[in-house]
Amino acid sequence: MIELVIFAALAAVVLFQLYTVLGRKVGRQPEDAEAEAAGRVSPKPAAQPVEPGPAVAPVSGGDSIRARDPSFNEAEFLSGAAQAYQMLVKAYATSDRVVLKDLTSPSVYQTFDKAIAKREAEGVVETIDFPHPPRADLESAEMVGDIARVKVRFLAEYRSRSKGPEGEAVDDRRTAEVWTFERKVDSRDPNWALARVDAAQA
């Protein structure tokens, strides 16, 4: 079972921890009508809100996360994120709800599920192919309370093949998005979850 998302120690055991990486271009968050449901809506994490308590101002930078989680490494995280991105984009395209549920927060999964249901009702099936890995750049890393939050900017190119009542279509696309990953540092679960997707400028 694919466990979720990009976790800090991913580089060490890339294969074993790749299932913990995260990243479907939710990104592919369909650029069409489904784009709104998938990510442009910028779903916020429902199950892992910043815990109330002493007002803690966000502290930017990987060092703030390393202070709570010494295993955090930006380069390894980005490597895992790029692989996770492709996994999630393909899972969304093929309606693989199991993978999506494992790699996303509950609120993000709900938006994906609704968009997939709409596509299924229309009788459309789709596959995605990446000619090369997406580019992943660190936008920010911060601690907010006990929540580690990392934003990654993805630039990707992929080919979408769809088939439906109106026939078949092939579409080459370029996308730019910022994905937000979150994890509670005091949790025994080392995995990160996709908590939000925003459009970005290419």
Look at 69 and 6; give whichever has higher pLDDT. Answer: 69
Question: How many CB atoms within 10 Å of residue 103?
Answer: 30
CATH number at 156 reads 3.10.450.240
- Angstrom distances, CA of residue 135 to CA of 14, 37, 132, 175, 178: 18, 24, 9, 11, 11
pLDDT in tens, 113-139: 999 999 999 999 999 999 999 999 999
pLDDT reported for residue 60: 54
% of the chain residues with pLDDT over 70? 70
The average pLDDT across 44-52 equals 36
- The answer as to whether 1 is a domain residue is no
Model confidence band, residue 61 (pLDDT cutoffs 50, 70, 90)? confident
- The answer as to whether 7 is a domain residue is no
pLDDT reported for residue 49: 37
- The answer as to whether 69 is a domain residue is yes
pTM of the model: 0.69
Total number of domains constituting the chain: 1
